[in-house]
């Protein structure tokens, strides 16, 4: 008996070890596959950047040229000097920054009131906010246009901004975070005679600073990227946002890919940087707004 056991045990051990080795080989293979797929996924972006650094003549030369032969910023200089891109950029910065600040402040106020205060109509307001989550804003474009035209705000920054300020999700996220602030903080502040505004700006907001940053970044990215409404609200070339304007660059230059893609890279740069610098916050904001506590 004992001899049988003695021979069986090492055999079992070696089989476990060989199994371990195959998994580590499998692991390496999967990792390699992951890297390859990621590289393919990233390739269109890489190709856009490379193309923007080529001369117009090199972009149309046959074959796969992964690096520019003579890297040049001519495409960039051209779109900056010969198109309205700098103006579009300013329009985008102005509208996106205002949308971010106003909608975050507005939502924090509303979220705080709904979470911490009792007032008539509170329940109705909360239900409406939850319900509005479902409404497709793209179905409202016709009426947004009529309203904004009615108050003579077409082709103005304010006209672009107003319909984009409705962000029910931001209110919902704030309310949930304010709900989870322990009762004691509020009671202590009441004893110190703090009013509600001090409570919001000195206690509740600073305690949830991370959430505010996350929501602000994602609101900024959303505002910068929105296409349909700015496209309708700003028909005048001087009032376009960069997101809308860069397609005009393409129309006027025909076959000049370095310029067109230089415009595209410039238009995508602020949001790409916002993501790369605040990767964790963006991730948090997205999982939060989908209703998953990350």
Partner 1 sequence: MRRNRVTEYATAAVLVAPFVAIFGWMFIYPTIQMVFLSFTNAPLIGNGVWVGFENYIRMFQDRIFWNAVWNTSYFVLLTVVPGTAIALAIALMVTRLKGRTQSLILAAFFLPYVLPITVVYLIWDWLTNFQFGLIQYVIEPIMGKRINIWRTIPWFMPSAAILTIWWTNGFSILLFLAGLRNIPRDLYEAAALDNASRWQMFRSITWPLLWPVTVLCLTIQLILQLKIFDQVYLFAQGGRTQATMVLVQYIYEQAFQKNSGGYAATISVALFVIVVIFSVLQYQVLRVRGEK
Alpha-carbon gap, residue 110 to 129, rounded angstroms: 10
Is residue 110 at the binding interface for partner 1, with CB under 8 A as the rule? yes
Residue 244 binds partner 1 (CB under 8 A): yes
Taking phi over 0 as left and psi of -120 to 50 as alpha, with beta for the rest, 132 belongs to alpha
Interaction with partner 1 in 51-90: which residues (CB under 8 A)? Answer: 51, 59-60, 64
Binding region for partner 1 (CB under 8 A) out of 68-76, 77-85, 126-134, 175-183 = 126-134
**Which of these ranges, 4-12, 138-146, 176-184, 204-212, lies near partner 1 under the rule CB under 8 A?**
138-146
Span of 1-9, 77-85, 160-168, 206-214 interacting with partner 1 by CB under 8 A: 160-168
What's the Rg (C-alpha) of the chain? 27
- Choice between 153 and 207, CB closer to partner 1: 153
Contact in structure between 179 and 293 (CB atoms under 8 Å): no
* Residues 180-219 contacting partner 1, CB under 8 A: 195-197, 200
Of 184, 215, 194, the C-alpha closest to 108 is 215
Distances in Å between the Cα of 262 and the Cα atoms of 94, 188, 224, 246, 247 are 22, 56, 18, 10, 12
Q: Which residue in 122, 158, 179, 252 binds partner 1 (CB under 8 A)?
A: 122
User: Residue 250, interface with partner 1 (CB under 8 A)?
Assistant: yes
Among 8, 13, 47, 73, binds partner 1 (CB under 8 A): 47
Query: Using the rule CB under 8 A, is 109 a contact of partner 1?
Result: yes
> 267, 273 in Cβ contact below 8 A?
no
Longest dimension (CA), the chain: 97
């Amino acid at each position: 008996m004992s001899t049988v056991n003695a021979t069986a045990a090492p055999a079992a051990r070696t089989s476990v070890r060989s199994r371990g080795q195959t998994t580590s080989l499998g692991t390496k293979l999967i990792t390699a596959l992951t890297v390859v797929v990621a590289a393919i996924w990233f390739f269109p972006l890489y190709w856009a950047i490379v193309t923007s650094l080529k001369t117009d003549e090199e972009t149309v030369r046959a074959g796969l040229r992964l690096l520019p032969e003579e890297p040049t910023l001519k495409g960039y200089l051209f779109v900056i000097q010969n198109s309205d891109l700098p103006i579009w950029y300013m329009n985008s910065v102005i509208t996106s920054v205002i949308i971010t600040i106003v909608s975050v402040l507005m939502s924090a106020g509303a979220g705080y009131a709904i979470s911490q205060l009792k007032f008539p109509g509170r329940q109705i307001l909360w239900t409406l906010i939850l319900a509005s989550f479902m409404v497709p804003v793209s179905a409202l474009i016709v009426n947004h246009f009529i309203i904004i035209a009615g108050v003579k705000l077409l082709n103005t920054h304010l006209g672009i901004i107003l319909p984009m300020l409705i962000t029910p999700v931001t209110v919902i996220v704030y309310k949930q975070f304010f709900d989870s602030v322990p009762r004691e903080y509020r009671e202590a502040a009441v004893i110190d005679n703090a009013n509600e505004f001090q409570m919001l700006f000195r206690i509740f907001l600073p305690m949830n600073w991370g959430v505010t940053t996350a929501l602000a970044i994602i609101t900024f990215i959303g505002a910068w990227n929105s296409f349909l409404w700015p496209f309708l609200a700003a028909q005048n070339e001087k009032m376009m946002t960069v997101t809308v304007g860069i397609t005009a660059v393409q129309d006027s230059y025909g076959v000049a890919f370095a310029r067109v893609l230089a415009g595209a890279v410039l238009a995508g740069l602020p949001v790409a940087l916002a993501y790369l610098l605040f990767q964790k916050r963006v991730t948090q904001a997205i999982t939060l707004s989908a209703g998953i506590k990350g």
